[in-house]
C-alpha cells in the first residue's frame, strides 16, 4: 500500500481541522496542537502503509487513534460538568489521579527552567521512574510554554497508542499468520481499558507501543537468524530502552518472554553472543533500576535487587489485603470467618474479577461513571473466557490443529506468563477497581495475542468447552448480579455470601463435570 501525494494533502488538512477543534476545546494553543498532530498523522499513515496491512489495517489504526482521542477529550470536557463535584480529579477533567498529578508536576517542571533530568531525581511523586514525567514536561516546554493544556498530552498519548497497532499486526502476522493477527489486532486496538488509558497521560499506552515495537523487532530478528538488519536492532534497542525509562519491570518481563520463546522455538544455535550480551545487560539494568526505585527511601535493609523485589511484593500484598478488608464491611466479615491461609487466594481471585461486572451493572453512581464502569467490565469479562481457555487451546485434546509443535509450546509459555502477570497485578492492586486493571493492561499485548489465538482455535475445532466456559461465567454474573441487586435495591431474597459462593461453585462443577462425563461417554460410544 503506497503513499500518494494526495495523502499528504489530506493529512495536512486534517491536522489543521483537528488542531482547530482541540484549540477550541482548550481555549487556545492551535500552533502547538498543529505541530504535534501533523507529524503524528503522517507517522500513523506511513506506519500503516509500511505494515502492508492494506485498507483494513489503516481503518483499525485510524479507529484506535480516534476513539482514544475522542474519549480523552470528551471526558476532559464532561467530567467537570457531570462528574463528582467533590472530586478534584473529576473537576479538573481527569479520571486517573496519577495522570492529574503527573500533568500538574510536568507543567511545574516545564516552567521551572530546571533541566528535564530533574524528573528522574525522585523529587516528583507522580512518576516513580521519571521517563513519562520528563516527556510530558518536554511537550509542555516545547509546544505549550504559555499555558498548561492537558489535551496536548492526551493527543500525544492517543498517537503513541495507535502507532503500536501496525507493529503489533506485522509481528503477529509474521509469526502466527493472518487469521490470528487480524483478530488479535482488533482486540489490541479496541479493548475498553486500553482505550481509556490511551486517552490520558498514563504510562500504559507508551508501554504497549514499546511492547509492540519490541515484538516486531524480536520476530524480525528470529527470521533473520544470524544477521539481523539495523532496523531490527534499532527497534529492539529503542523499545527496550523506552520501557526502561517508563517501567523497568515491563522491560524485565519482556526479556523473560523473549528468552523463553527463543528456547521453545528451538533456535538456540542461531543465537548470537552479542544479542545475548545486549539482552543480559538490559535485563540487569532493568532489575537494578526497578529495585533502586522501590528502595529509594531505604525501606528494605537488604539492598540486593531480588531481595528488594521479594520484600516489596510481600509488603504490597499485605497492604492491599488490609485495604480490601478495611474498605468493605462484608469482606471484613469474610476475613474474620475464613482461615488465614485462605485470605491470599481470595485476594487474588477478587483481584482477577476486577472490575466486577455485576457491581458495575447494579452499584448506584453517576451516569457518566456508570457508562465507564460497564464498558471496562464488559471488556474484561469478554476477554476473560479466552484467557481461561488459553492453556486448553494448546493441550493434548487440540492436537487436530495443523500447527507446529513449537507454536503450541510458545502459546503455552505466553499463557503461563500472562496469568502470572495477571495474578501479580491482582495481588499488587488487590480489589482496587483502577490500579489492578491498569497494572494488568501493561502486558495486554500478549493477552490480545492469546485471545486471538483462542478465538481462531474455537473456529477451527468447534470446541464445546468454549460454550461451557461462557456458561460458567454466565452463572457467576447472574448469581452475583442478583446478590448485588438484593444488597442495593432489596430485590429478591439475599443469600449469604458463603451460600452464594457455594451455589456458584456447585453449578460450575455441574457444568464442567457434566461436560467431561458427556464427552467421555460420547468417546466410548464412538469406540464401540
pLDDT in tens, 99-115: 999 999 999 999 998 99
Please state, in angstroms and rounded to a whole number, the distance separating the CA atoms of residues 352 and 380. Answer: 10
pLDDT digits (tens, 9 = 90+) for 272-309: 555 566 666 666 766 666 556 555 544 445 555 555 45
Instruction: Give pLDDT, residue 333.
Output: 66
Instruction: Give pLDDT, residue 24.
Output: 96
Instruction: Give pLDDT, residue 386.
Output: 96
> Mean pLDDT across the stretch 53-80?
96
Please state, in angstroms and rounded to a whole number, the distance separating the CA atoms of residues 432 and 421. Answer: 16
pLDDT digits (tens, 9 = 90+) for 244-256: 888 888 888 898 8
Instruction: Give pLDDT, residue 443.
Output: 93
Question: pLDDT grade, residue 336 (50/70/90)?
Answer: low
pLDDT digits (tens, 9 = 90+) for 480-496: 999 889 888 877 777 87
Given a cut of 60, whether residue 270 has pLDDT beyond it is no
Instruction: Give pLDDT, residue 442.
Output: 94
Residue 391 C-alpha cell reads as: 492453556
Instruction: Give pLDDT, residue 400.
Output: 44
Given a cut of 60, whether residue 322 has pLDDT beyond it is no
Helix, strand, coil: what percent of the chain each, to 5? 80, 0, 20
Instruction: Give pLDDT, residue 314.
Output: 59
Which among 210, 259, 182, 239 is positioned nearest to 448, based on CA atoms?
A: 182
Question: pLDDT grade, residue 41 (50/70/90)?
Answer: very high
Instruction: Give pLDDT, residue 463.
Output: 87
- Region of poorest pLDDT, from 359-368, 393-402, 481-490, 513-522: 393-402
Given a cut of 80, whether residue 476 has pLDDT beyond it is yes
Given a cut of 50, whether residue 397 has pLDDT beyond it is no
Given a cut of 90, whether residue 192 has pLDDT beyond it is yes
- Region of poorest pLDDT, from 65-74, 203-212, 404-413, 444-453: 404-413
- Region of poorest pLDDT, from 355-369, 465-479, 481-495: 481-495
- Region of poorest pLDDT, from 162-166, 173-177, 214-218, 295-299: 295-299
Instruction: Give pLDDT, residue 491.
Output: 77
Q: Where are the domains of the chain?
A: 1-115+148-202, 204-293, 305-462
Contact between 132 and 9 under an 8 Å Cβ cutoff? The reply is no
With b meaning 16 or more CB within 10 Å and e meaning fewer, what string describes 206-226? bbbbbbbbbbbbbbbbbeeee
Percent of the chain topping pLDDT 70: 81
Given a cut of 90, whether residue 329 has pLDDT beyond it is no
pLDDT digits (tens, 9 = 90+) for 107-165: 999 999 899 999 888 787 777 778 899 999 999 999 999 999 999 999 999 999 999 99
Three-class DSSP labels, 19-53: HHHHHHHHCCCHHHHHHHHHHHHHHHHHHHHHCCC
| Cα 503 → chain centroid | 32
> Mean pLDDT across the stretch 349-373?
92
- Mean pLDDT taken over the chain: 85
HSE toward the beta carbon, residue 24, CA cutoff 13 A: 6
CB atoms within 10 A of CB 104: 16
> 448 or 249: which carries more pLDDT confidence?
448
Question: pLDDT grade, residue 236 (50/70/90)?
Answer: confident
> Mean pLDDT across the stretch 310-321?
57
Residue 366 C-alpha cell reads as: 453517576
What's this model's pTM, rounded to 2 decimal places?
Answer: 0.90
Amino acid at each position: 500500500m503506497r503513499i500518494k501525494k494526495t495523502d499528504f494533502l489530506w493529512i495536512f488538512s486534517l491536522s489543521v481541522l483537528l488542531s482547530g477543534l482541540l484549540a477550541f476545546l482548550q481555549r487556545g494553543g492551535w500552533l502547538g496542537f498543529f505541530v504535534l498532530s501533523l507529524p503524528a498523522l503522517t507517522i500513523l499513515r506511513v506506519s500503516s502503509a509500511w505494515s502492508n496491512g492494506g485498507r483494513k489495517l489503516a481503518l483499525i489504526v485510524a479507529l484506535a487513534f480516534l476513539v482514544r482521542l475522542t474519549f480523552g477529550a470528551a471526558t476532559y470536557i464532561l467530567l467537570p460538568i457531570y462528574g463528582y463535584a467533590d472530586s478534584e480529579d473529576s473537576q479538573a477533567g481527569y479520571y486517573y489521579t496519577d495522570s492529574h498529578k503527573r500533568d500538574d508536576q510536568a507543567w511545574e517542571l516545564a516552567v521551572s527552567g530546571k533541566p528535564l533530568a530533574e524528573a528522574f531525581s525522585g523529587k516528583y511523586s507522580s512518576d516513580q521512574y521519571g521517563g513519562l514525567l520528563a516527556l510530558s514536561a518536554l511537550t509542555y516546554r516545547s509546544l505549550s510554554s504559555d499555558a498548561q493544556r492537558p489535551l496536548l498530552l492526551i493527543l500525544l498519548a492517543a498517537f503513541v497508542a495507535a502507532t503500536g497497532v501496525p507493529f503489533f499486526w506485522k509481528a503477529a502476522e509474521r509469526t502466527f499468520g493472518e487469521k490470528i493477527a487480524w483478530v488479535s489486532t482488533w482486540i489490541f486496538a479496541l479493548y475498553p481499558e486500553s482505550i481509556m488509558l490511551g486517552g490520558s497521560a498514563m504510562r500504559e499506552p507508551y508501554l504497549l507501543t514499546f511492547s509492540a515495537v519490541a515484538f516486531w523487532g524480536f520476530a524480525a530478528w528470529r527470521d533473520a537468524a544470524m544477521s539481523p538488519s539495523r532496523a531490527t536492532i534499532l527497534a529492539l534497542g529503542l523499545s527496550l530502552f523506552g520501557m526502561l525509562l517508563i517501567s523497568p519491570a515491563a522491560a524485565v518481563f519482556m526479556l523473560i518472554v523473549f528468552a523463553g520463546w527463543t528456547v521453545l522455538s528451538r533456535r538456540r544455535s542461531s543465537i548470537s553472543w552479542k544479542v545475548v550480551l545486549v539482552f543480559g545487560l538490559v535485563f540487569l539494568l532493568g532489575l537494578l533500576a526497578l529495585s533502586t526505585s522501590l528502595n529509594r527511601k531505604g525501606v528494605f535493609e537488604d539492598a540486593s535487587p531480588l531481595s528488594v523485589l521479594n520484600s516489596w511484593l510481600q509488603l504490597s500484598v499485605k497492604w492491599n489485603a488490609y485495604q480490601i478488608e478495611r474498605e468493605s464491611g462484608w469482606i471484613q466479615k469474610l476475613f474474620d470467618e475464613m482461615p488465614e491461609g485462605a485470605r491470599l487466594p481470595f485476594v487474588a481471585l477478587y483481584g482477577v474479577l476486577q472490575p466486577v461486572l455485576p457491581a458495575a451493572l447494579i452499584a448506584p453512581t453517576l451516569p457518566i461513571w456508570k457508562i465507564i464502569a460497564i464498558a471496562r467490565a464488559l471488556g474484561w469479562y469478554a476477554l476473560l473466557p479466552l484467557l481461561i481457555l488459553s492453556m486448553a487451546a494448546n493441550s493434548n485434546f487440540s492436537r487436530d490443529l495443523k500447527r507446529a509443535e513449537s507454536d503450541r509450546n510458545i502459546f503455552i509459555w505466553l499463557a503461563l506468563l500472562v496469568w502470572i502477570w495477571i495474578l501479580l497485578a491482582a495481588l499488587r492492586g488487590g480489589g482496587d477497581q483502577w490500579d489492578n486493571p491498569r497494572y494488568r493492561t501493561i502486558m495486554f499485548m500478549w493477552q490480545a495475542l492469546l485471545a486471538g489465538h483462542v478465538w481462531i482455535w474455537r473456529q477451527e475445532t468447534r470446541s464445546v468447552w468454549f460454550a461451557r466456559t461462557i456458561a460458567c461465567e454466565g452463572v457467576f454474573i447472574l448469581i452475583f448480579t442478583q446478590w448485588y441487586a438484593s444488597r442495593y435495591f432489596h430485590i429478591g431474597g439475599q443469600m449469604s455470601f458463603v451460600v452464594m459462593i457455594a451455589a456458584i461453585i456447585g453449578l460450575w462443577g455441574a457444568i464442567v463435570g457434566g461436560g467431561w462425563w458427556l464427552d467421555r461417554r460420547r468417546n466410548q460410544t464412538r469406540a464401540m
